[in-house]
Structure 1
């Protein structure tokens, strides 16, 4: 099997009048596999570049006991319980640090992939594959800070060969959504979780609800609606044949630049209004809310412990702690935890050390995930997993797959959770799941209208 990305990326400046989404819209619908990762709003440290790619050279699908590698239509099966190891073998090592991503493995890791490294029951039968990545050897990158647009490639300049269509959008249709838990059922599992907390099993656990629907039509119409309705630091349209993930995630799972490992725990939310004085008052209320602060502190500690497993001793520290950051529609308490990667570890080790995020599981993490498996009514699939890339140059950047819409073969779902702690009120936590799903469900309605 060939290894890709061993050469220095070559860069061709583009002078195009269209923005990155317009370009992607013209090209992506002509290919079965493509991706667009955009950074539209949020702190500058998160909103740096946007990148897209089409028609990967290789597709890797990771299962619990095997991987499938598809190249030029040929499928090879390898028996293994370590799909990350097989993915690593496909990536060459480039020293190009101009940008974090100039080619590499792009895809999704399902939440249920945690069972590859932790012995957690699979009560509901996790969907397979647990992860899927495409190896993209070229792409188009927009540097938001310097306002530059260019095409990059490693072995073959395919820019003139890309099939460019028109910029029209098709119709999108979706049915009414059906939640898998009503307020009564959700309150029951919240109260069961609180008993575990009172008994000392856990400090916190994130319990989620699923909203399912049927759909057909142009998923790019849905993405266009979402990026306008809820612009975020991590916007993504990831198309993997019959599967599409459309997201507006505010939260990073992990990012590596050189030997710097970063994570940005987010916990604590207030809305943003048209009244600036009210926004300031809501910020003050949030930053002095003892429940929110206690939950955030717990998740910062969990993040420090996670990256501490792969970083040099003594290098892990909060670069910023409990700052209010504004996004398109909400403001969050955000911390920035960093460390220096130990020389014996790499981006794959770092990813597995932090996955899944404490903000979508709980603390202690493993016991919280066992309780999630017990109390939630079905496997999570890609929800609360991660969408992003492992770059040829050893960098990576992954968003937590929240505030997302997951579509496969005409079936779609949105999922959202709330962090349950000792003094949680079930009614309030139910409302939080409704609120967090709100932008996605609104995008479905508007795209279909």
Structure 2
């Protein structure tokens, strides 16, 4: 059982927490619980004391942020918009209620939070171990997934109701920390009276902890049937086949009335399904609570290093140890699960790359993490934060997590709205803390989470679960996976038989796996520019892809500066003007969803390149397809089907960028292709590489100019020879 159960009750009785603690702060409750065995994931837990300041964000009125006009991102209709202004409010506790202190409006999550979540220069008097990076007052709370409206350039067709809560953060000046390694409780506070009172309370004989038994209740209703869920999987796969996206995470909900209090639900959840990023939040004036047994970290920052640990790849626990090993090995070797995970690792490397120093992003470890109901593939990705980046920028760039959206990020966030047709609210948002004075932080992803609302004398709950849909997904398996993931919380809500059982009998574990590809991350002096550009740098055209920054960092690793310009937004300058103005040493036409014609700037560059009017140019995936079209080749859906996130054998002639390479495999993310039969009679290009059927063009070059295209991703963790391809191109 978690360390704070008995202590919480004593603090409430003594008027040090909850509704009778008004002299110290508000009655709201927040706990960040790291349950399960001690590990690099699970080191300390925090019980937050009464707070006197909080920041909230609500959904704007329809006048400020209208509902988006009907459109279909699944069919390629992704409408990019400028962000709307959201109001950020800071409130003060006046002893009885919350009252407005000040407010600000911004279209940036980072700017809004930075303005109101002030750094507190006070310091806690008590010391903690180095495992607990809490040295003074910090902020903690929850972010709704629907803040995606501030972090992605999209407008929702199914937005939250006007005034709906999107964010709540409390300034924490009083808390109790449990250090798991030495099993020690420490009171941290700037309030001497509260600290002394809590210390005295902790020295009292511990009273027996009352067991919060759950009450069985009527089963919940789901927002979709199994058949409807399967049909959604097929509709996503149709969109993948058309080249619009690579992977999408769909969520299915179960809602109903519960007869237990939120605290009882949480106690059952933590006991029966221990997880390192669990949490309990109860916002009394909103009659709203969150119960989370999340195994997943969105991000943490400490001493200038950002870490994210995405989960993708799921298998059930076995009935026996032998069966469990077989299920684990099947997951590790499963092509679909590994492709899904590889895609997510590439996506999160890209997101970290937006705020990291050039060439300072790396994959630290790759594991199977075993929990009460399921086992997962998990990677840990690290980056060294750039000097002008703070903790607010980190949250804005990484939120919401890639594992619960898909890839490419902007397109799938819009497509999720189209498919789910309702708000996600706090499911797949984040719960965590940050210290503006040190830049340290830790945020989970709110999966395995129940959202509870009081309605009259009873509580209603919603549990949502889902999975990543890829071209290789089996619709029935996707339905089953969502149910595995939901089961723990469905039990904790009293909706499944056997709910009264409150402890897990299965051992939790972490099994380390070898890294797929160790990529270079040496320090470099080169730089990446997105606003103020540098002459004679490599010009990289971003086509709304989620891997662009991986390419940029790899180029920096070879000693080149990089300018990134959007190929999808309306450009004020033509391709020729950009060449004249920036005088790039090389040009890279980046990958992206959809068809090359969706990026007019990319097609402009491709046409100039085939006429010999550009510096050395490389087209990657969509950029490769643009070069093919400009050279007179036809672009068609692949006759052997889409491939996303899977390394495939690449047969080559040793020419062009493939010189001196032996047998190679490269990771592909594509549904559209040029065919070798079409290219055979083309007078302007040479086909250097094909797939193992020799029917798909994987590499081409101009017969006259240093212009190249590759239908794979050299920057992927699944492309060990990709660095050689980029190096040879940059040598031109």
Whether these two folds match at TM > 0.5 is: yes
Residues 159-170 of structure 1 aligned to structure 2 (within 5 Å): 159-161=195-197, 167-168=209-210
RMSD of aligned residue pairs (Cα, Å): 2.4
The answer as to whether partners of 2:406 and 2:468 remain within 8 angstroms in 1 is yes
Q: Choose the corresponding residue for 1:69, options 90, 97, 115.
A: 90
Aligned partner of residue 186 in structure 1, secondary structure: helix
Output one character per residue of 1:303-336: Cα deviation in whole Å (capped at 9) or x when no partner. Answer: 1000111111111000113x22223333211111
TM-score under structure 2 length normalisation: 0.56
The answer as to whether partners of 2:175 and 2:189 remain within 8 angstroms in 1 is yes
CA distance in 1, matches of 2:193, 2:177: 15
Instruction: Evaluate the alpha carbon distance shift between residue 319 and residue 43 of structure 1 in structure 2; reply closer, same or farther with a 3 A threshold.
Output: farther
Deviates most, 417-426 or 216-225:
216-225
Q: Tell me what 2:42 maps to.
A: 47
CA distance in 2, matches of 1:290, 1:170: 43
Instruction: Evaluate the alpha carbon distance shift between residue 293 and residue 83 of structure 1 in structure 2; reply closer, same or farther with a 3 A threshold.
Output: closer
Q: Tell me what 2:445 maps to.
A: 400
**2:389 corresponds to 1:341:** no
The answer as to whether partners of 2:88 and 2:113 remain within 8 angstroms in 1 is no
Post-superposition offset of 1:183: 1.4
The answer as to whether partners of 1:58 and 1:69 remain within 8 angstroms in 2 is yes
Aligned partner of residue 396 in structure 2, secondary structure: helix
Output one character per residue of 1:172-222: Cα deviation in whole Å (capped at 9) or x when no partner. Answer: 555421101111222222221111111111100001111111235422111
The answer as to whether partners of 1:169 and 1:220 remain within 8 angstroms in 2 is no
CA distance in 2, matches of 1:170, 1:45: 30
Q: Choose the corresponding residue for 2:421, options 377, 381, 386.
A: 377
Q: Tell me what 1:196 maps to.
A: 239
Q: Tell me what 1:154 maps to.
A: 190
TM-score under structure 1 length normalisation: 0.89
Post-superposition offset of 1:424: 1.4
**2:136 corresponds to 1:87:** no
**2:66 corresponds to 1:30:** no
Q: Choose the corresponding residue for 2:169, options 133, 136, 141.
A: 133
Q: Tell me what 2:146 maps to.
A: 112
Q: Choose the corresponding residue for 1:215, options 258, 274, 287.
A: 258
Q: Tell me what 1:5 maps to.
A: none
CA distance in 2, matches of 1:118, 1:83: 11
Q: Tell me what 2:469 maps to.
A: 420
Post-superposition offset of 1:24: 2.5
Q: Tell me what 2:226 maps to.
A: 183
Aligned partner of residue 169 in structure 2, secondary structure: strand
CA distance in 2, matches of 1:198, 1:385: 29
Aligned partner of residue 130 in structure 1, secondary structure: strand
CA distance in 2, matches of 1:216, 1:248: 20
Post-superposition offset of 1:154: 2.6
Higher strand share: 1
CA distance in 2, matches of 1:265, 1:316: 15
The answer as to whether partners of 2:222 and 2:254 remain within 8 angstroms in 1 is yes
CA distance in 2, matches of 1:83, 1:33: 23
Higher relative contact order structure (alpha carbons within 8 Å, sequence separation ≥ 6) = 1
The answer as to whether partners of 1:42 and 1:327 remain within 8 angstroms in 2 is no
Instruction: Evaluate the alpha carbon distance shift between residue 137 and residue 86 of structure 1 in structure 2; reply closer, same or farther with a 3 A threshold.
Output: farther
CA distance in 2, matches of 1:374, 1:259: 38
CA distance in 2, matches of 1:42, 1:144: 9
Post-superposition offset of 1:62: 1.3
Q: Tell me what 2:629 maps to.
A: none
CA distance in 2, matches of 1:233, 1:378: 29
Output one character per residue of 1:318-356: Cα deviation in whole Å (capped at 9) or x when no partner. Answer: 0113x2222333321111100111110011111111111
Q: Choose the corresponding residue for 1:225, options 265, 268, 279.
A: 268
The answer as to whether partners of 1:66 and 1:79 remain within 8 angstroms in 2 is yes
Matched residue count:
431
Deviates most, 114-123 or 80-89:
80-89
Aligned partner of residue 340 in structure 1, secondary structure: strand
**2:181 corresponds to 1:145:** yes
CA distance in 2, matches of 1:283, 1:83: 39
Instruction: Evaluate the alpha carbon distance shift between residue 436 and residue 181 of structure 1 in structure 2; reply closer, same or farther with a 3 A threshold.
Output: same
Aligned partner of residue 315 in structure 1, secondary structure: strand
Deviates most, 300-309 or 129-138:
129-138
Unaligned runs of 5+ in 1: 1-17
Post-superposition offset of 1:23: 1.3
Unaligned runs of 5+ in 2: 20-26, 61-85, 502-732
